[in-house]
Amino acid sequence: MKNLLLLLLIVPLVSFGQKLLDNTLEEAVTYTHTKDYYPYLNLTTQDTLILPINIDVELSVESLRDLNLKSNYFYIRLKEAYYTKSDSVYITKSLDTIKTDVMNYVQLIYPESDQTFIGGVYFDGKINDSTYQYTNSLFEGVLPHKWDLRNYPFDNQQLKIRFRALEDSSYISLNVTKLYSPSLSNDFPDLMDGFSVEGISFKKRYLTDLFSMIETSEGIQRNLVVEEIIFLVDIDRKGSFLYFKLFFGAFLSFIISCLVFFISRNLFETRITLSLGGIFGAVGNKYFVESAMPEIQVLTKADLINNLVILLIIINVFIVIAQQNKEINLGALEKNKNAALFMVALFIITNSVIILF
């Protein structure tokens, strides 16, 4: 009888203990991420690895050269560094190994070239209270550049240096490091005369890969989205000298066309010949400017200035003809002095508007 009672007490206790053990095991393997869904990691609520992994980017530009209108590439030498608070290897509570070294998750975007050189050092270990990994690399090579010449020859250019994450933004996040600001060398002796480096800024954007899909949970899929940090090096063109260099011929043609107002109205043939000579000079200068520029499909300030000079010379021709024709009355412009002052003032005002706006 005693054995029976003891058996009846032991069975419920064993069942209750087994239930507690099952509950404990269930809590230990409550996953926040599983291998079934992106990023395919066995992470439980007890794991200390936090996603996304933040990687900080540092940049220092040391040299620039080969910035040429007829080339879509420029040569650069820079130093890049990556920082992160995550260790390079993480062991999960389920004893899985996750490699989180920064070299595998972020890269500088550059085209293949014979001029490319990359070298550097990688450190893995606790640097300070907030940094566990650090890499410092030197890059020399060419990067692409898309010229924006709408304001040529008063244009400012932005050279772009791109750092891109190699995994989805839910796994890897890029930021500019707060330890060191992006920096520029104090001098760029190899940069073409006429350009000056004004500063550096950065922006962040997200790129959607239309050909890659990830499954984030059961039945939910989306395109892969990666982060990109873009550093912008501001290049200013010293346009005043180039302005006179490019348009001296056009301005000289306009001045010649204005000289007709200092010739007697009785010498119509001389006046009209001089005016037409100014037109040919302005057209020739227009082709000279276009030959110095690459083929572009947008209207530039250089085009506007050239076309304006040609138009003003044509107006001069019209005034000369109207002054000779008794049926046309130009009012105050019938006098050569007034006509000359009007055309000079119109030239200055219209050129100023184009340059400033």
| Per-residue pLDDT in tens (0 to 9) along the chain, 357 residues | 544 444 444 444 344 444 433 444 344 456 677 788 898 888 888 888 888 999 999 999 999 999 988 889 999 999 998 888 887 788 888 888 888 888 889 999 999 888 899 888 777 666 666 666 678 889 999 999 999 999 998 899 999 999 999 999 999 999 998 888 899 998 898 898 889 999 999 999 999 999 999 998 888 899 999 999 999 999 998 767 888 888 999 999 999 999 999 998 888 889 988 888 899 999 999 988 888 777 778 889 999 999 999 999 999 999 999 998 888 888 999 999 999 999 999 999 999 999 888
CATH number for the region 32-237 comes to 2.70.170.10
Which pLDDT value is given to residue 127? Answer: 65
Q: What is the pTM of this model?
A: 0.82
Of 254, 172, 159, the C-alpha closest to 207 is 172
Contact 298, 150 (CB under 8 A): yes
Question: Hey, where are the domains in the chain?
Answer: 32-237, 240-356
Which pLDDT value is given to residue 125? Answer: 65
Q: CA–CA separation, 274 vs 253, rounded Å?
A: 10
Fold assignment, 240-356? Methane Monooxygenase Hydroxylase; Chain G, domain 1 (1.20.58)
Which pLDDT value is given to residue 344? Answer: 94
